[in-house]
Structure 1
C-alpha cells in the first residue's frame, strides 16, 4: 500500500482534488486544501494550475509533514476523505448502422488488420478518409456494429463537427461527451482540459473499447482524444488525410458501377431497377459512385420516364426556372464563386427540384446558419406556417435525405447539402428575404432563451428590453429544472444565435442571449460549449458599449466561465475590465459584484490575503449605494454573502476566531431570511473552520444541521462533502 506521506501519494491527492472541482463540493475541497497547505508549509502557496506546479506544491507538503507528526496527522486526515477520481461504468454503443451496405471489403480488411494487431505500445489507430457522401461515416459505424462482440467494454461515438475550423468542436468539449457516454456523472467531469484527458485515459485503460471520431477537422483536434491503452481501437473519420496523425490510412473511393447497381437494387428493388434500365447508365454516371447520391436517386427510379426531363423549380411562381443541375455555388461575402460539379450537390439539386413549394422554402431558409438541431417550432416561426406543416416539411426533407434526423428527434443539414441550400436561398429568395429569415431565427431563439432563463433563475437579475418585457410573466416551464432542461437542449443553437447576431450587427441580441446562458454556467457546467458565445459578447460590448453596465456584465460572465476552466490570468483580465466598466457607468452594485468575483478568483488561487482585501473593497463600494439606487433592496443579502466570503478567506489565512465571527454573522442572516441553501453553505464553512482550528466536537453539530437541511434539497455532492467532513471530525477525535 502506498505510504500516504509519500510524495507520490500527496501528488495524487492534490491532483484528485483539483480534478474534482466540477461541483461545489469539489471547490470546497480545493479551497480547504489551499488553507491546509498554507498551514503545513507556513507560508502562502499559489494554487497549482498545471502538472509541474502541482508537483512542486506536493514536494513542499512532503518536506513539511515528514518531520512533524502533528502536520502529518492533519494531512492524513484530509487525504483519507479527499475526493477520489470519478468512476465511469457505462457500456456505450454506436448509433445503428444502415440496412444496406455494399462492398468496402478492402477498407474493412484494413480496419480488421489494425484492430487485431498485437499490442506493442503504439495506439491502435486508423484514419478513414474520403469525400463527402462517399460513405466514410457509414463504413466506420457499420464495421463497428459488425464487430461489437470484439469490444465488450463498449463503443464510443463522437461527431467532431469538423466541416470547417469555425464549427469544429474543441477537444475538451468532445472529451466531456465521451466521459458522459462512459457513464461519468456530469457533475464529476473535471473542468480542466488536461484533467479530462487524464480521466478519459484512466477510464478506458483496462477496457476493450472502440472509439469512432467522426468528421474530424485536423490532427490537432484529434490528438487529445487518443490513448495508448492496449485494448482500445480508435477510428478517425475525415474528408481528407490529416497531416501529423500517425494512423493507418483507410482511403474510401467511389463505388464501382457493379456495386453501385447492387446498392440501387437493394434500395429500390430488382424489378424497379430492371424497369429503369434505359436510364440506368445516366443515373450511375451522375451519381459518380457516391452512396449518398445513389440513395437520393433510388426513389426517382420509380418514375424512370421523368429521369431525363427537367422538373419545374419549386417555390414562388416568379422564381426563374432552373436548367439541369447547375454547378454549385458558395457564398463569399456578397459574391458567389462557382466550383466544380460533384455527385452530392447534383443529387441535392435533383431532390430539391422535386419538392413542393412549402418544403422547398423551408429547405432554403433554415440553411443560412449551421444550426445543430432544428425542430418544427422554430421552423414554423421563421417560415410563417403552422407547426404541423413545419413538422411535415421537415419529415419530407429528411425522407429525401436533404436533412438528417438527430438522436434528439430534430434535424440538421449535411455540410455540403447546407451549402447547396444556402446558395439556392440567396439565388431564389434574395438577400433581403434571407436576412429576414436569419433575423427571425435569432429572435425566436432569443425569446425562448430569455423565458427559460427567467424561469431557471427567477431571483437573478439580467439587463435588456426582452427581460423587462417578459419579467413576471408565466412561461411554459413547470419549474426551474424544466427550464434548465430546455436551455440545455438548445445550447448549440443558442451559441450559433449569438455568433449570428454578432455577425449581423445586433448587439442587443448578443447581450441578452449571453445572459440567458448563465444558468448553464451556474447549474449545468457547460463552460466549454458556452465559451465561444461569451467571448463574442465581450468583443461586441467592447466595440459598441465600452464603459457601460452591459460591458461590466459581459466581462463578469466571461470571467466566471474562464475561472471554471482554470484560465485564471484571462479571467482576471476580464474581471478588471468589468470593475472599470461598472465604475465608469456609476453602477456601484455591479462594481461591488465584479470586485467580489475577483475575490472569489483569489480564493480559487489560494491567495487568501488578496481575497480578503477584495471582499473589503466590495463592502466599501456597497456603502455608496443609496436607498433609491438600483440594487438597494438586495444590499442585506449582498453584505451577508460578503461576510461569508470574508470568513472563508480568514480561515485560509489561519485567522480562525475572526473567521467564525464573520461566518456566524452570515449564518444569522440566512437563517432569519429563510434561505436554507446559503445557510447550509455557511454551516459547512463554519464546520470547516472549527475542524481546521482543532475543534472537531464543535464542527459535528454544524455538519448534522447542514446535512438535515440539504437532505431536502437533494444536493448529492454537497452531502458527500459533509460526510467526508464528518469522517475527518471523528478521526480527529480518536
Structure 2
C-alpha cells in the first residue's frame, strides 16, 4: 500500500530487528555436513588377497542386506598387508557406506604416549556431527552414544592395530548396515565369540610378489628381465609385502643393482632378516618379530626356539607331534602352539570341507619369515637347553620314521639291527599311524626335513639314530621315487658308516645297496648310473668279505646285483643271483625274503622271455604269501601289512605274465585287485603300473573309452611323482586323439 514501511534482511546472521509493520527475511538453507571420510588413501600398488577381498565384499553385502552391524578381523604378522587390505576394501566399497568412514590407528596412539579410547571416541562423535557439549564423559558412555549415533547410518569403522577385545568392542557401531573392520598382529579369540569373521593373512605367492615389485617403475625392467631371480626373491622374502617393498626401494635407489645380486645377499650366512634390514637402514623386520615374540610366555618361547632348529634351516612346516616332543608334554605343546598362532608366528590349518587328515599327518607352518626368526632364537639359546631340544627332535624323528617305515613296508631286514637297536628305531613307543598309507604320506610330508635332522644327529654324536633315520626313508624313495632326496641322505650316511670304526661293516654294505638301487632306477635316463651302481655293490661286498654275518649280507647284495644285471640286459646272471639269494633266505629261515626273491624271479623270467617259468614262479610266490597270511592271522598288524603288499605286487606281475601268455581273462582280476590295493595303500607308482596293465587289457578288448580312462589315470599318477613316463603316456593319449579326430 502507498506509504507503507518495508524492511528486508538477507543472510543467516539474524540479530534483533525492530520493525513497525512488515518484515521480509531471506534466510540461507542450512548447509549439510558431508559424511566424514577419515580412512587414508593407500598410494602403493595393492596385489593378491583375491579370496579375502571376495569374502569381505560379500560380508559388506550381507551386513547391508541384513541390517546388522558386521565385524571383520584381519590378522597377520606386521608388514603382511592387513592395513592395505582394509584400505583396499574401504576404497572399493566407499559408495556402500553413506554414513562415511572413520579411522583410528591405535598403534600410533600408543607410540604417542598412550592409548586413550575415550579420546578416540570423542573425535569419532565430533566427526559424526555431535556437538562438543553433547559428548558424554567416560569411554563407556561415549561408546554407547557412538552406537546410538551410528544407527541406520551405514558407517565403515576401521580400527588399525587393535590388541585386545575391549579395545575393539568400544567401537562397535549401531544396527543398520555398518561394518567394523579391525586389524591386529595377533589373534583375538574373544572377537570370534562376538561374531567377528577372521581373515588370516600370510605371504604373497610368487606371481603376486612379482606384481608388487613391478609397481615400482624403476624396478620393473629388472624384474621382467630375470623372472627366475624374481621368483627366488619373493621366496626369500617369504612373500612379506614389507620386505618386498624394502627391497624395491633399495633397487630403485641403486639402478646398477640386479635382482640376482639381492637374492645372493639374502642367501648369505648372515640370514635374511638382517640382510633385509640392512637394505632398510634400520631394524624394521627385527622390530616386527621382536614385537610378536614379546607376547609369548616362557613355554611358547621355548617351543618357538626349539622349532627354529629346523625352521632356521628352511623347514617351514612341522607336525604337532614334534612340538609335543620338544616340550615333553602334549598339553603344554597345544597351549604353546595356540600362543604362537595368536602371535601370528605360526599358522594352524583351518578344518576344510573334506575329511580331516589323520592326526599323524596334521601340519602347522611358520608364517612369512618367522622360521628365520625362530632359527635366530634357536642359535641364541643357552648351550644345555639347545642340546636338549636338538636331541628331542632327533629322537622324535627317529622313532616316528621307524614306525612309518614298518607301516609302509612291514618287517624287513634293516641295517639298524646290526647296531644294537630293535626294528622300531631303538625305542619303539606307540605306533602313531592308523593305516598303512599314512606311513608313506608322513615320510612324504617330512622328507625335506630328513637331511637337516640327520645333520643335527651327527653334530650331536647320535650316529645310530642317523642310520635309522636314513634307512627309514627307503619306502618313500622306492615307492614314490624320491631319488634325489634318497641320494642326498644315503651319501652322507655312507661316509659316516665307512669312516666310523665302531660301525659294523654290514651297515655300510646295506646302505651302499640302497644307493646302488637308486643308481639302477636312474640307469634308463642318466648315463653312467649303471656303472655307479656296480661300483657301490663291489664296495659293499668288499666291506663284508670277512664279516661273521657275510652270508646274511650276501642275500641282500645279491638282490641288488640281480637288479643291476637286469638293467644291463644280463638276464641269466640276474636269475642266478636271485636263485642264490632265495636259497640263502630259505636256509636262514626267512620266509618273507624267500617269497620276495621268488616274486622277483617270476618277474625277471617274463622279461627274459620265459613266460612259462615266470608263471610257475609267480604262482609259487602267490602261494607262499597266501600260506603265510593264513597261518599268521594273529600276527601283528604291521607284519601282515608287509605280506599283503608283497601279495599285491605278485598279483600285478601275474597279470602281466598271463597277458604275455594270451590269457587276458585270467589276467584281468589280478590287475583289478592290484590296482585297488595300491590305491588304498598310497602306492602311486605301483598303482600307475597297474592302471597301465588295465589300459592294455581294455585296448586288446577294443574298449577305447576304458583304455583312455586307465591310461589317463596312469599318466596323472606318474606326473604327480615327476616321472618321465608321464610324458610318454601323454604322447600316446594325444596320438590316439589325433587319430580319432574326424
TM-score normalized by structure 2?
0.48
TM-score (norm. length: structure 1): 0.49
RCO higher in 1 or 2 (8 Å CA, sep ≥ 6)?
Answer: 1
Larger radius of gyration: 2
